[in-house]
Amino acid sequence: MTGYRRSPRRLTFALDQIRDELEPDSLLAEVQRVWREAVGAAIAQEAQPASERHGVLTVSCSASVWAQELDLMGPAIVGRLNRLLRAGEISRLRCVTLPSGM
């Protein structure tokens, strides 16, 4: 039997391969993949990458105070994102507040 593995592989290996195959090939998808790592759990809970156009990342925030805070933190967040991205580059953030009830 050629090609037969005697020892099992970790399930995460197979899941990582499937995720990589199914993940859309776009800068937005790449940013969404690394967002939590780049900004931390607290910010990730209140703000999510919503769209990207010509390097400008639009981030939807749960409240205007979060949008203002992320605007101030923008250069630092952009730097962390760009270090984590495998391809593409973000030039700046555009932070918006979601209407209530969404």
Mark out the alpha helices in the chain (DSSP H runs): 11-22, 27-39, 41-46, 64-84
Q: Based on the structure, what is the number of domains in the chain? A: 1
Residue 37 located in a structural domain: yes
Residue 72 located in a structural domain: yes
Task: Give the closest residue to 92 by CA, choosing from 79, 84, 83.
Answer: 79
Read off the pLDDT of residues 64-75 as tens digits, 9 standing for 90 and up.
999 999 999 999
Is the CB of residue 49 less than 8 Å from the CB of residue 74?
no
Residue 86 located in a structural domain: yes
Q: By residue range, what is the domain housing residue 91?
A: 26-97
CB contact set of 49 (below 8 Å; sequence gap of 6+):
28, 31, 32, 35, 57, 58, 59, 60
Residue 16 located in a structural domain: no
* pTM (2 d.p.): 0.74
Residue 9: both structure tokens together: 């592989």
Residue 17 located in a structural domain: no
Residue 55 located in a structural domain: yes
Residue 12 located in a structural domain: no
Read off the pLDDT of residues 10-68 as tens digits, 9 standing for 90 and up.
777 777 676 666 655 789 999 999 999 999 999 999 999 999 999 999 999 999 999 99
**How long a stretch of residues is the chain?**
102
